[in-house]
Structure formats: C-alpha cells, structure tokens
Amino acid sequence: MHIDWVIAMADPMTHDLVTLGEAMLRLSVPAGERLERAPAYQVDVAGAEANVAIAVARAGLSAVWFSRLPESPLGRRAAGEIALHGVDVSHVVWDRTRRMGTYFLELSVPPRPVSVLYDRADSAATALTPDDIDWAIVESARAVHLTGITPALSPSARLTTMETARRAGQGGAEVIVDVNYRSRLWSPDEAAEVIGELCSLATTVIVTTEDARDLFAATGSPLEIAAMLRQTMSADAVVVTQGAEGAAWNSGTDSGEAPGHTAEVIDRIGAGDAFAAGVIIGLLGSGIASGVKRGLAMSGLKLGLRGDQLVVSQEEVEATLRGESDRQVRR
C-alpha cells in the first residue's frame, strides 16, 4: 500500500524549514486524574519536531518533516494530522515491521510535577538511517531544525541526525538545535557528549537554564549562560530560556533579554516547541531578537491549549505580541 500526502509548493526543492524526528501518540489524563485509575485516555499526535513544523507551517512558511512511521492506522493518523496543518509529510518512510511509539501523560498542578511515561522502544523512528533522507531537500533548505531527542533514540537515528546537521550546514542553511534533554532516554554524560557535538554543527542553539546546567555545567543569569555557551559551542547565536521568566540571547553582535507572558497553564507540553518555532520564524525574517519575542508569545499561547501542538492563528500571535491579550472576552 502506498500512502502519500502532497503539499503544493512554488518550488518543490526549496523549503523554509526542514526537520527530522519521531512522532508518537500521546495518551493523557487531565490534571487531578492518575494514569493508574483513569477510565479513559485522550489520544493526540505528538512529537517535538513535528510540533515545530506545524507551528511554522501555520505561520505561512513551507515546512517538511522527515521520519519513519509504521504502515498502520496509527501511523496514518500521525501523518494525516501533521499534514492537516500544512506540513509536507510526503517523504515519510513507511515501516511494515516496527511499531508506533507512544507516551502516557499525567497532567498535574503543583506541588506534583507533570509525569511522562514513554513506551517507544523499537518504534519505527528508531530505525531512521541516512538513506531515509532526501539530501537535496536538506541541502537547499533555508533552515533545518533538530533536537537532542532524535539522537537518543538509536545509533542509526544519531548518525542520521548528525549527517543532517552537516549537510544542512554545507548547504548554507540556518541549523537550529534545540537541546531538549530527555533524562528518561539517556544519562547526562552521554547526552552532553552527543548533543554537544550536534550543537557544534549548529548556527543557533536553544537551551533551557536547567539543561545548560545539567549537561554543560553552565550557570549564572540567562544572559551569562548564553554568552558562555556561544563561545564554547562556536554557534552564531545561543538562546537561553527560563520558563515563565522569559529568555535571553547572544549572537555576538547583539544580545538581550525578553520577559515571558503571563499565562494560566492548562498544558505545558509543547510550549518549548512553540518557542523554537517562533525563533525560527524570526531567523528567517527580521532577526533573532524578534524571533525570541515571537517565540515567547507563541509559548505563552501554547500553555493555554491542551495537546502538544500550537493551533492558533497568526492574528492571535500578533495580538499577544502587541499586548492585546488582556481582554477576557473578545467580541
């Protein structure tokens, strides 16, 4: 069976964004429920890189997502939902033997943290290899987005991620690496070595203050961490996020900070991906400073939405950037 979603584009070989990663099914229970007692689970499509591609595509830019999915109803659900938002998934490799990765999510309120339970061993995405990638698309992209999640999946996925970063850099693309450390996938020492190598191939690195501390022993204010990591990683720019407090950036010629947006948290999963998408949009447009501010607005909006994906209009993003989101009812 051949499965194909085609997104019409002006030039099929030139894309604003190319990204690579695993999609999973997310099975969640609302805050106040426990996984072990829940009578039912809400099922959604999830995955950091797909989340970024969706947010970028919804902003009117062209985005391609590379991955492997099982040739099954579950795989088709994931591809179909990602494509629904305008992402080109026509290069997905369909796997007849491996499974769909899942994760179980228990939302919560303080002092109990959000809990994530992965069930992704031997998923289709763990079999990613460089042969699964159309390198002409990577090498002609304006921006390529990668995370520290994909190289944690398997040795072949790690090799594919590194080769994607190298090919993208050779093609002159912006290479954006979101560190995205997942402690349940690998140890800090192993992650630091591999993600550090990946960051050395990036033009822009995005990292939380927690990941900067745990992986790279970088401490201080977000501005100080950004300056320190930019030197050690040789990246053109480093962006450091600090949750609700906002973010800082250092690009050598420019540095600064921007505050976060006040938001009531319904679902924090995917907020970092929304932020990364805003940074990418800025890098492809008016620059990193505007990208950080856009990312903070998009991240704030995501906190108020259930599910992994930022499903908002650009008018809502622009209104948040202008500070027009203080009205409780808009009519």
Active site residues per annotation: 273
For 157-210, give the DSSP string.
HHHHHHHHHHHHHHTT-EEEEE----TTTS-HHHHHHHHHHHHTT-SEEEEEHH
Residues 47 and 308: their CA atoms lie apart, in Å, by 8
| Residue 247 φ/ψ, nearest 5 degrees | -155, 160
CA gap 288, 186 in Å, rounded: 31
Between CA 299 and CA 200 the distance in angstroms is: 26
Q: What's the angle, vertex CA 166, arms to CA 13 and CA 218, rounded to 5?
A: 125
The DSSP bridge pattern shows strands 42-46 and 204-208 to be unpaired
| Distance separating alpha carbons of residues 126 and 68, to the nearest angstrom | 8
Residue 162, both tokens: 């590194």
Amino acid in the structure at residue 109: V
Task: Report how far residue 305's alpha carbon sits from residue 16's, in angstroms, rounded to the nearest whole number.
Answer: 26
Rg (CA), the chain: 19
Strands 68-70 and 93-95: parallel
CA distance 293 to 282: 9
Q: How far is CA 15 from CA 5, 9, 38, 65, 132, in A?
A: 16, 9, 42, 11, 18
> Are the C-beta atoms of residues 223 and 245 closer than 8 Å to each other?
no
List 27's β-bridge partners, or say none. 43, 104
- Measure the CA–CA gap between 278 and 217, rounded to whole angstroms: 27
